């Protein structure tokens, strides 16, 4: 697969694998052996960039905790030097309808040790602050990141759901390699950050690049199993399917033109837009993991990307999940 460079020197495959769904967010966790097997198969297919987080956890049928980082660590241990592993700190828990964030230096220190252990590695290639903690200054977080780099525990760092002011302040203390923000054909708000990313030479790792699966055209239901976060996502309501009909038709038309799938077009559109965008679609299924990887081979001209943008601007679209709010302490 083609590679691209995030920040100054972090080489990753043009598409990464989002591993969250194996343990978190989409109902019951996948059986651990199967998850390990599928992540390993993704490596064999050509993926070299894997995304996880400290907070991605579920409960196994025997009641034990299913740590996503452990699964990733197990799958990739013997090929560790050939892959880029990204993980995240800074979300302590999901509470009520919000996230409890904690990026105090002491918590980061504890988190990094836990992640290294679960990932069964001596360093993390890309360590993200998962959400901004309003009670900790960006300079404080960046200083800890510089210390962790000096100690060899991490090699690069990033910020998830970063805004311009925070990114600039953090980057002034310790070079930021990538932001990991929500970005898809249905959620383009962060295009406003493009000039800043270019000025500072920071990559954009796009999470939920398929709008949590809606843009694949493969999901038609509004009710999902217990614990599946899609039950509360506005793009999966019955009315939303109606409202997004034209959008899906547009996507299918472009897909037909490229002899591709809507999922592949959703990914190819962003890869062809900017050389520093790297989507990390998540899937638990090998056929889909393979389907998504092939998007890296689809070429679109600048004009075609612009035409798609214009069509997306004009087409009716439902609301799309915008993330769980950070609760004030
Ligand atoms: N930084 C953050 O705050 C944050 C937040 C959310 C996610 N993430 C990261 O981003 C990754 C991806 O995000 P996401 O899971 O939210 O959304 P996504 O990648 O937009 O969508 C994932 C959903 O699409 C389905 N899917 C994927 N490829 C498909 C295909 N080719 N055909 C049909 N269905 C397909 C998956 O189902 P199956 O699994 O059933 O195939 C899953 O339900 C996560 O794994 C995680 O690593 C980060």
Check: CB of residue 25 under 8 Å from CB of residue 219.
no
Write out pLDDT tens, residues 94-142. 877 789 999 999 999 999 999 999 999 999 999 999 999 999 999 999 9
Could you tell me if the CB of 26 is within 6 A of ligand 1? yes
Question: Cβ-count burial of 163 within 10 angstroms (0-12 exposed, 13-18 middle, 19+ buried)?
Answer: middle
Q: Residue 188: helix, strand or coil by DSSP? A: coil
Could you tell me if the CB of 284 is within 6 A of ligand 1? yes
Mutate to test the pocket of ligand 1, among 283, 293, 295 (most ligand atoms within 8 A of CB): 283
The pLDDT score that the predictor gives to residue 96 is 73
Could you tell me if the CB of 263 is within 6 A of ligand 1? yes
**171 torsion bin: left (phi>0), alpha (psi -120 to 50), beta (else):** alpha
Measured by CA distance, the residue closest to atom 25 of ligand 1 is: 213
The pLDDT score that the predictor gives to residue 328 is 59
Low-confidence stretches of the chain (pLDDT < 50) are: none
The pLDDT score that the predictor gives to residue 325 is 85
The pLDDT score that the predictor gives to residue 104 is 98
Structure tokens at 58: 């579920």
Task: Choose the catalytic residue: 26, 47, 56, 276.
Answer: 56
56 Cα: distance to centroid of ligand 1 (angstroms): 13
Could you tell me if the CB of 264 is within 6 A of ligand 1? no
Could you tell me if the CB of 23 is within 6 A of ligand 1? no
130 Cα: distance to centroid of ligand 1 (angstroms): 16
Q: In what order do the strands lie in the sheet with 91-95?
A: 91-95, 98-101, 325-326
């Amino acid at each position: 697969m083609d590679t691209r460079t995030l920040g100054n020197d972090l080489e990753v495959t043009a598409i990464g694998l989002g591993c969250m769904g194996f343990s978190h967010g989409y109902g019951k966790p996948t059986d651990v052996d199967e998850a390990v097997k599928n992540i390993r198969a993704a490596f064999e297919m050509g993926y070299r960039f894997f995304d996880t987080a400290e907070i991605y956890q579920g409960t196994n049928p025997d009641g034990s905790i299913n740590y996503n980082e452990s699964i990733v660590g197990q799958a990739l241990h013997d090929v560790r030097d050939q892959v880029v592993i990204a993980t995240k700190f800074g979300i302590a828990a999901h509470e009520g309808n919000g996230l409890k964030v904690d990026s105090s230096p002491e918590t980061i220190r504890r988190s990094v040790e836990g992640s290294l252990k679960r990932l069964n590695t001596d360093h993390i290639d890309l360590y993200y602050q998962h959400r901004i903690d309003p009670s900790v200054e960006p300079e404080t977080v960046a200083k800890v990141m510089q210390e962790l780099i000096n100690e060899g525990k991490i090699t690069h760092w990033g910020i998830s759901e970063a805004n311009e002011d925070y990114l600039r302040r953090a980057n002034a203390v310790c070079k930021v390699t990538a932001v990991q923000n929500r970005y898809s054909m249905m959620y383009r708000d962060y295009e406003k950050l493009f000039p800043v990313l270019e000025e500072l030479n920071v990559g954009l790792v796009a999470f939920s690049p398929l709008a949590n699966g809606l843009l694949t055209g493969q999901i038609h239901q509004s009710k999902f199993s217990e614990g599946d976060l899609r039950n509360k996502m506005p793009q999966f309501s019955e009315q939303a399917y109606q409202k997004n009909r034209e959008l899906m038709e547009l996507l299918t038309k472009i897909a037909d033109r490229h002899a591709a799938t809507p999922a592949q077009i959703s990914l190819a559109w962003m890869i062809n837009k900017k050389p520093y965008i790297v989507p990390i679609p998540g899937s638990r299924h090998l056929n889909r993991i393979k389907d998504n990887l092939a998007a890296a081979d689809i070429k679109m001209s600048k004009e075609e990307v612009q035409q798609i943008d214009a069509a997306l601007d004009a087409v009716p679209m439902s609301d799309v999940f915008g993330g769980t709010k950070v609760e004030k302490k």
